[in-house]
Amino acid sequence: MRRWLLLVLLTLALPLSAYAIKKPTGKITDPAAFAMIRTYCVDASDLPDYEAVDVEGLVKAESKPKRLLTKVPWTLVANCTQSQPDAIIKVTFRRLRRMNVRLGQPPAPGEIESAAPYAIRAVLQVSDASSSQLLYETDAAPLSNSMTGESVVAEEEPDHLLRRNAAYNAFWTLVQDLRRASRKHQE
């Protein structure tokens, strides 16, 4: 009897958990236009040189076969100005001042030297190339150390690795959201 009851409960819970999994993490502002994208480029022209190098290096490394950007179902074009892509992806970085978890306040002046006062987040935006309308947006933190897979402690990683890791996570979120959106569109 217990097995049947457990089976019934699992059967009822699966559709609810599947629905929760299918919801995109990022914000899709125009699902119809987002679904029409076939080609894209990554534009780093508005970034400071050191951040542009990080983004361009990530795109170059991850567009190789069996890497992250090959999982994006769109075709990556090399140059945003010479080609005519459907969408333009821009990645920007934000530095957030960390709060003292215990008090909900910024760290005291003496704590700043011992604890990393800032966290880096990557904001990824997909815009329509012809109208510049924002179609998708997500932001991501560097979640794991690229070498060990452990949690990142900001004072142990240089800023350029944190930026690259956060941008990688933002692109990974885009890939996952594209899969979720395509499954939802097929239903």
Q: What is the pLDDT of residue 67?
A: 95
As a whole number of angstroms, the distance between CA 187 and CA 183 comes to 6
Q: What is the pLDDT of residue 69?
A: 94
As a whole number of angstroms, the distance between CA 14 and CA 155 comes to 41
Instruction: Using the predicted structure, report yes or no on whether residue 181 has a pLDDT greater than 50.
Output: yes
Residue 40 near residue 77 (C-beta atoms within 8 A):
yes
Pairing relationship of beta strands 118-128 and 87-97 according to DSSP bridges: antiparallel
Instruction: Using the predicted structure, report yes or no on whether residue 166 has a pLDDT greater than 80.
Output: yes
Instruction: Using the predicted structure, report yes or no on whether residue 113 has a pLDDT greater than 50.
Output: no
- State in Å, rounded, how far the first CA of the chain is from the last one: 35
Name which of 106, 109, 75 is nearest 89 in CA terms: 75
Q: Which helix (H) or strand (E) holds 31?
A: helix 31-35
Q: What is the pLDDT of residue 24?
A: 78
As a whole number of angstroms, the distance between CA 78 and CA 59 comes to 10
| % of the chain with per-residue pLDDT over 70 | 67
Phi, psi of 69 (to 5 degrees): -70, -15
As a whole number of angstroms, the distance between CA 162 and CA 144 comes to 9
Report residue 117 as tokens: 């006062």
Q: What is the pLDDT of residue 51?
A: 95
Most confident of 60-64, 82-86, 112-116, 143-147: 60-64
Residue 141 near residue 121 (C-beta atoms within 8 A):
yes
Contacts of 96 (CB under 8 A, 6+ apart): 118, 119, 120, 121
Residue 90 pairs with which residues in a beta bridge? 43, 125
Residue 81 near residue 69 (C-beta atoms within 8 A):
no
Greatest extent of the chain over all pairs of C-alpha atoms, in Å: 68
Structural domains of the chain ordered from first start: 24-186 (3.30.160)
Residue 96 near residue 119 (C-beta atoms within 8 A):
yes
Cα–Cα separations (whole angstroms), residue 156 to 63, 78, 82, 160: 28, 34, 40, 12
